[in-house]
Amino acid sequence: MAANSLQAIRKSQPAVALAMLGFPWVADGISDAEASALTSFAALGETDPLLLERVVNLPWVADPPDLEPLWFVRSLAALAEHDPILARHLADLPWANDGASPQETEAIKHIAVAAEYDLPLARHFATFPWIEDGVNEIESGALVDLAYIGQAIARQSPQRDVLLGALRAISWVNDGISMEELAVLYNINRLSDPEAVAAAILSAQSSSRFAAAVVPTPTPTPLPPGPLGQMRGAPWYQDGLTREEEFLAATIGFSSVDSERYAMDLVRNPLVQSKTLVLPSGEVTLIVISALSWNRGEEALDALQTAVETIEEFMGIPWPDSEALLLLFPHAESDFERLGRMTTTRGGYRMVVMYEPETSPGFAPVLYHEVAHYYWHRTWFREAVAEFFGYYTLHKTRGAPLRTHAGRGRCPVETIHEFKQATNGGLTSSFTPLGACAYTLGSTFLVEAYKTVGHDVFQASLHTLYYDFDFSDPEVKFYRLLLANSSPDKHADLEEVYRTYIGGPIPSG
């Protein structure tokens, strides 16, 4: 794949290909993840050779600190397919010159999403003044929501042109995005009924009653009903938000809390605890949010720290976010079936929600599983890896045996191969019998592979897999990485583990 990508570039732009051959990450041998990155360069060259030349000459592209910034090239290539001039404009911004952050890459990606269905809207997004200065998490989240709101309109609404025009006319988006404004966009994005989306957009164009539910006004009297409206009258909100209280407001605003009664309790009697964790890669803020009536969270903050430290050490990759968020939620207030979940807000904030008391024996392994989703949140394989980390963290910190569900558990098929055939590649709800296979068979495969090849080989292989951009057939790619990194005397046992839990054709090394 890498050779084909470089050959395609060489045919049209030999000087660019020669320059790329001198990049350290190309010259020292190309991993699967780097090969995937090269396909993005080739795609950009096919669409806009001039833009590819500009990108290759950016100072950070030759030797980036890791592969994360190269996602920028993929997002830029997707946008250039629809509007090369706009892609060039964004590539010339100062923050693109010094290495795009994940939030800035996400912004370009979703401007490209908008360009797929409405070029004027995409161009409008690119004119926001705050795009010029570098995109933060809140602004990136706003672009994600705006892009998908527009996509829903383009696909479903009979008033397509009118509503896309109304979306462009929301004036308060232009001067920067607050947490409360992001909550407005997020909640519009959550609406499934086209008529409700239309009404929300039309009323959000100015300081409307819809926007006023979350955007503070000088005289909020009477307060709108519901948690968001009542939050504006809470003392902790009126006297200015601390960083911790911003996350509390975002939690309520994003409707991560699926019980209005508990949301009101969070508004009236919140408890937000935090600590700064110093990791080898930098500082991470740990935040635990709860209501005083439910859980005080002292042990939860320690458990969150254990999870973050252990999983970040194992991955050998900097913690993906600047914080780790945990919401403690009473199970009786929720219809949710499991003990915990990871919710990803459109604002880019990922939060673990735990429905079990921190004193419960089941609290720690479920928390460790959910925290692992900060790294692993793509395809069915994410649940297998998260489940593995639930067991591994218990093993590492408490000396528990490294074991799993011991095979199939509730899974109705024998292998992951059968599971993927029955679910269109593993796309199924976790709550179905087939959905359990990702947890049971997947994690058992990983634990047995870990025992077979040892910690160092397993860790190095998982580290490489994390940077795989396409992430299709992860079990095959991971097996090949294990083979490549382990000694030949392990291969027969590793093949047997693959045959038992993955099944299907055995991949060649």
What pLDDT, on a 0 to 100 scale, did the predictor assign at position 215? Answer: 34
Report how far apart, in Å, the C-alpha atoms of 492 and of each of 210, 327, 476, 497, 506 are. 63, 45, 16, 9, 11
Q: Would you say residue 485 lies in a domain?
A: yes
Residue 242: inside a domain, yes or no? yes
Considering the domain architecture, whether residues 365 and 440 belong to the same structural domain is answered as no
DSSP H helical ranges for 353-435: 363-372, 381-398, 416-422
Residues 369 and 300 occupy one common structural domain: yes
**Residue-level pLDDT at 3:** 62
Whether 401 and 417 map to the same domain: the answer is: yes
Tokens representing 509 are 């090394």
The reply to whether 403 and 479 lie within a common domain is yes
What's the whole-model pTM score?
A: 0.59
Tens of pLDDT along 426-465?
555 555 667 788 888 899 999 999 999 999 999 999 988 8
Residue 66's pLDDT is what? 66
Asked which of 317, 343, 373 is the last residue of a domain, the reply is 373
Tell whether 289 and 223 lie within a shared domain.
Answer: yes
What mean pLDDT is predicted for residues 344-371?
76
Residues 365 and 443 in one domain: no
Contact 404, 440 (CB under 8 A): yes
What CATH number did the domain enclosing 284 receive? 3.30.2010.30
Spatial separation of the C-alpha atoms in residues 272 and 81, rounded to whole Å: 45
pLDDT, tens digit (0-9, with 9 covering 90-100), for 145-158: 888 888 888 877 67
Provide the b/e sequence for 3-37 (b: ≥16 CB within 10 Å).
Answer: eebbebbbeebeebbebbeebebbeeebbbbbbbb
For 157, other C-beta atoms within 10 Å of its C-beta total: 17
The 10s digit of each residue's pLDDT in 84-103 is 888 888 888 888 887 788 88
431 shares a domain with 364: no
Among 348, 373, 398, the domain boundary falls at 373
48 within domain boundaries: no
The DSSP line for 437-463 is HHHHHHHHHHHHHHHHH-HHHHHHHHH
Same domain, 360 and 426: no
432: which DSSP letter?
S
Each residue of 493-504: pLDDT tens digit? 999 999 999 999
Provide the residue range defining the domain that includes 454.
381-501
Q: Are residues 415 and 356 in the same domain?
A: no
Separation of alpha carbons 465 and 463, rounded Å: 6
pLDDT in tens, 237-270: 888 778 788 788 777 755 445 567 778 888 888 9
Q: How many domains does the chain have?
A: 2
Would the pLDDT of 45 be above 80? Answer: yes
- pLDDT, greater one: 4 or 308: 308
Of 343, 373, 403, which residue is a domain's last? 373
More confident residue, 407 or 388: 388
With a pLDDT cut of 70, the percent of the chain lying above it is 81
Dist CA 158 CA 171 (whole Å): 24
- The pLDDT tens digits of the residues spanning 61-91 come to 877 766 666 778 888 888 888 888 888 888 8
In a domain, 194, yes or no: no
> What is the pLDDT averaged over residues 327-356?
67
The answer as to whether 251 is a domain residue is yes
pLDDT tens-digit readout, 161-191? 888 888 888 877 877 787 667 777 777 776 6
| 110-126 pLDDT, tens digit each | 899 999 888 888 888 88
d(CA 378, CA 467): 12
State whether 369 and 476 are in the same domain.
Answer: no
DSSP reduced 3-state for 157: coil
pLDDT at residue number 462: 93
Question: pLDDT tens, 196-224?
Answer: 677 777 766 654 333 433 333 333 345 45
Within a domain: 199? no
Q: Which has the closest alpha carbon to 340: 439, 419, 203?
A: 439
Q: Is the pLDDT of residue 192 over 70?
A: no
Residues 307 and 419 in one domain: no
CA trace torsion 248, 322, 339, 364 (10° rounding): -120
In-domain check, residue 262: yes
Query: Are 365 and 392 members of one domain?
Result: no
245 in a domain, yes or no? yes
